[in-house]
Structure formats: structure tokens, C-alpha cells
Amino acid sequence: MANTQAMATSFKVDLLNGIHAFGTSVVRAGTTADSFKAALYLVTATMDSTATAYTATNEVSGSGYSAGGVDLTGATDWIAPTSTSTTAFSTPTASIVYTTVTLATAFDAVLIYNSTQSNKAVSVHTFGSQTVTAGTFTLTMPTNDSTNALIRLA
Amino acid sequence: MEEKPLIWTTKGNLPISSLQYRHQWTETAAEITLVEEYLLGEEIVKRNVHVMLKRGAVSHIDAGGVI
């Protein structure tokens, strides 16, 4: 039986659970999960992998929309991280919903960020350019598996 | 007295029966989108958008070799 160089899959799950700290970390108040939010960005924004934290620059604005976006909701914000094969993954437990908003300027991206940890960025997701008029914008989450989950560490 | 169902629009609550409704489904490799529009005459007074993301973001983590 040969040895195989690999990143432990359990380590990937642990990363999502905040278990390891290779550098300076944070003091946590407890073992509960952090809270997360979702902010929308205009098509003119440049949100990408370089995002480090929530910013109001080029965020959408309009009736019914509060700067910073909305909280992820559900019994917990995220489905408990798990893995299949060598991929760790998690997805918000519920759809992200902006209710009764008017967003007249086109937007096409959402930033997921950690509102417990200084609004640090988690991920950016894009979609077709949209506007909303006195209505609801709903982002329904993908299937929570190793192929489709909202965030995956492969 | 008969009650008329109302819906919130840019002009306040209006009877749904007074509005024209139209919707459109679109599907791409990344998402499925439903857009619902309510019109008062030619004017869009309500527009809902529902986007289902098919797939999220992935990051690859690899273990380096020892030289």
C-alpha cells in the first residue's frame, strides 16, 4: 500500500468550521457559528476574488434596501459543512430575499460576508443583470452537494 | 361588499385585476430566472425577480510536495 500526498478532506471541512488558525486569529465569544449577510452590487462594480470585506462602494441603493443588504436567515445561516469525496462544501439554509425593494439601477452580483468577523468577505456570486420595481428579489440557493454547493473547497 | 385583492406597486396598493401580468423564464448554464411584471397601461408598476443559482463558487486547495 502506497502513501499518497494529499490535503486532508477533514481539514477542508475544519476550515469552514473555523477550527484551525495558521496565523493570528480572533477571540471568539463562544462556539456558535458566525452571522453572515448578503449585499448586492451594481453591474458597474468590480467585485471579485480580491474583495476583502463588505464595502458600500457601488452597492445598490433604492427604496426598501438597507446598506449592507440582508441577513442570511434560517435556524442557522449555513447548512453544517460536510464533505463528499475530497470536496468540502456548505450552502445557506434559506433563499436570500430582498422584500419590497425598488432597485432601478442594474445589478448583477451578491457579496456574502461575515458580519460577526468585521464584515470580512466570503464569496462573490454573479447572475444576469436585473432591476426590481416595488417588488421582491429572491436568490434561491443551489443544491448543497460537492458539485453545486454555494461554497466548495475542492 | 366584495373585496378586491390588492398588490403593492409604485403607485401604492392597486387591485390586481386592474393590472396586466406577464412573466418570463430564462435559463443559462449558471442560473434559472423568473421575472414577473405587472403593468398599468404601458407602465411597469411592479417587477419581481427570482434567480436560482445552479452552482456556487469553488476554491481548490492542494498539498505541496516536499523537495
Using the predicted structure, report yes or no on whether residue B1 has a pLDDT greater than 80: no
Query: What domain count does chain A have?
Result: 1
Nearest-Cα distance to chain A for B18, in Å, is 16
Of A124, A138, A150, the CB nearest to B50: A138
Q: Is residue A9 part of a domain?
A: no
Q: Is residue A15 part of a domain?
A: no
Is A117 a member of any domain? yes
Given this model, what pLDDT does residue A29 score? 82
Would strands A36-42 and A87-90 be described as parallel, antiparallel, or unpaired?
A: unpaired
Q: Note whether A47 and A109 are within 8 A (CB).
A: yes
pLDDT above 90: residue B67: no
Chain A residue numbers with beta carbons less than 8 Å from the beta carbon of B23 are none
Q: What would the DSSP string read from start to end of A50-112?
A: T--B---TTB---TT--TT-EE--SSSSBPPPEEETTEEEE-BSS-EEEEEEEEEEEEEEEEE
pLDDT on residue B66 = 78
Does A91 contact B36 at a Cβ distance shorter than 8 Å?
no
Size of interface A-B (CB pairs under 8 A): 102
With beta carbons less than 8 A apart as the criterion, state whether A6 and B63 touch: yes
Q: What pLDDT shows up at residue B3?
A: 85
Boundaries of domain holding A97: 36-153
Contacts 24+ apart (CB under 8 A), B38-42: B38/B7, B38/B9, B40/B9, B40/B11, B40/B14
Q: What is the pLDDT of residue A58?
A: 98
What is the model's pLDDT at position B37? 98
Instruction: Return d(Cα A142, Cα A148) in angstroms, integer.
Output: 6
For chain A (154 residues), the mean pLDDT of every run of 10, in chain order, is: 93 96 91 95 97 98 98 91 97 97 98 97 97 98 97 97
Residue A53 has a pLDDT of: 98
CA dihedral A94, A78, A82, A89 (to 10 degrees): 80
Element (H, E) at A10: helix A9-16
Query: Do A37 and A115 touch, CB atoms closer than 8 A?
Result: yes
pLDDT in tens, B4-56: 899 999 999 999 999 999 999 999 999 999 999 999 999 999 999 999 999 99
Q: What is the pTM of this model?
A: 0.94
- pLDDT on residue B63: 86
Whether residue A128 and residue B53 make contact (CB cut-off 8 A), yes or no, is: no
- pLDDT score of A106: 98
Question: Among A15, A130, A134, whose Cβ lies nearest the Cβ of B9?
Answer: A134
Residue A147 located in a structural domain? yes
Cα A95 from Cα A92, distance rounded (Å): 7
Query: Nearest-CA residue of chain B relative to A5?
Result: B63
Residue A46 lies in a domain: yes
- Residue B19 has what pLDDT? 98
A 10 A CB-CB count for A135 gives 29
Is A22 contained in some domain?
A: no
Residue A6 lies in a domain: no
Of A130, A78, A85, nearest to A104 by C-alpha is A130
Residue A8 belongs to a domain: no
Contacts of residue A43, Cβ cutoff 8 Å, sequence gap at least 6: A106, A107, A108, A109, A129
Please tell me the distance from the alpha carbon of residue B53 to that of residue B31, in angstroms, as a whole number: 5
